[in-house]
Structure 1
Amino acid sequence: MRVYLGATLGDLDSDDGLSARPARAVTASLQQALGADTDEEMAEYAALVLAAEDSLGLLGPESGWCRVVVAADVADAEVTPGEQLARVHVPASAWEDVVSFHVDADNPSMHALLERAAAGEADAISAVGEEDLLWYDVTERSLLVSQR
Structure 2
Amino acid sequence: MTRVYVPTTIDGLTALAADGELPASAERYVADSDTEEAEYAALVAAAVDSAALLEGPGRRVVVVADLADPDGAVPLRLVDAVHADPADRPADADPEDDLGWYATQEIGALLGNAQA
TM-score, normalised by the number of residues in structure 2: 0.84
- Tell me the equivalent position of 1:99: 80
Corresponding pairs, count? 109
Match for 1:74 among 42, 67, 75? Answer: 67
Which residue of 2 is the match for residue 10 of structure 1? 11
Match of 1:26 among 22, 31, 39: 31
**Poorly superposed stretches of 4+, deviation over 6 Å:** none
User: How do 1:1-148 and structure 2 match up within 5 A?
Assistant: 1-14=2-15, 15-16=18-19, 17-20=21-24, 21-27=26-32, 40-60=35-55, 65-75=58-68, 78-79=69-70, 90-106=71-87, 111-112=89-90, 115-116=91-92, 124=93, 127-129=94-96, 131-148=97-114
Structure 1: any 5+ residue segments left out of the alignment?
A: 32-38, 80-89, 117-123
2: CA distance between counterparts of 1:72 and 1:10? 18
SS in 2 for 1:146: helix
TM-score by length of 1: 0.67
Q: For 1:33-55, what per-residue CA distance to the aligned partner results, in whole angstroms no more than 9, with x for missing partners?
A: xxxxxx71111011100110111
Using the aligned pairs only, state the percent identity: 38
Q: Secondary structure at the match of 2:87?
A: coil
Q: Cα deviation per residue 1:65-118 (whole Å; 9 max; x = unaligned)?
A: 11100000111xx23xxxxxxxxxx222110010000011315xxx22xx12xx
Q: Which has the higher helix share?
A: 1
Please give the root-mean-square deviation of Cα atoms over the aligned residues, in Å: 1.7
Structure exhibiting the larger radius of gyration computed from Cα positions: 1
| Structure whose residues are more often strand by fraction | 2
Letter matched to residue 59 of structure 2:
C
**Which residue type is aligned with residue 106 of structure 1?**
A
Tell me, which stretches of 5 or more residues in structure 2 are unaligned?
none
